Amino acid sequence: MKLSLRADLLEKFAQFINEENLTGKKSRLRTRLHKTIAAKIEAHIEEYKQLVNEHAVKDDKGEVVTDTTENDEQIIPLIDAGKFKIELNELMSEEHHFEIDEDTKSVLEEIFFETERTFHNQEAVIYDELCTVIENIK
């Protein structure tokens, strides 16, 4: 079976499954999946850094230029913000697939469909998206 997650949901999914209290085999299955997703997240972060580096303004030494806002936040000026945004949207929309077995699917269904947590506003929208991911495991 395949669990498919868009890149922009990877961290939210990993965080959600990690917050549930599980014991024994269920905990081990969840931990294995979480480790696999965490590795994808790390790879995705590296791809994001590479994308920023490709589009960032650089000084005469080839180093990325940073500016500071009035709020003392560091920003990276981009050569072409429009092109960067297009490529970032493509990166964030990429589908990542994870092979899971029936037991792991059952644990995920328990985590998402039997949770006693309550959700409001944007958190509820994200929860609904994550539940749709679980419903679409094939």
Distance CA 120, CA 37 (A): 25
- Percent pLDDT > 70 in the chain is 100
Q: Are 137 and 3 in contact (CB under 8 A)?
A: yes
Q: Write out the two tokens for 97.
A: 């697939």
> Total domain count for the chain?
1
Q: Give the structural domain span for 110.
A: 2-135
What CA–CA distance (Å, rounded) separates 81 from 63?
18
Angle at 113 between CA 110 and CA 114, to 5 degrees: 65
pLDDT digits (tens, 9 = 90+) for 18-62: 999 999 999 999 999 999 999 999 999 999 999 999 999 999 999
What is the reported pTM?
0.87
Statement: residue 3 has pLDDT above 90: yes
* pLDDT confidence bin for 12, thresholds 50/70/90: very high
Please state, rounded to an integer, the average pLDDT across all residues of the chain.
95
| pLDDT tens string 51-110 | 999 999 999 999 999 998 888 899 999 999 999 999 999 999 999 999 999 999 999 999
Separation CA 66–CA 57 (nearest Å):
8
Which class for 84: exposed (0-12), middle (13-18), buried (19 or more C-beta within 10 A)?
Answer: middle
CA–CA distance, 44 with 86 (Å, rounded to integer)? 16
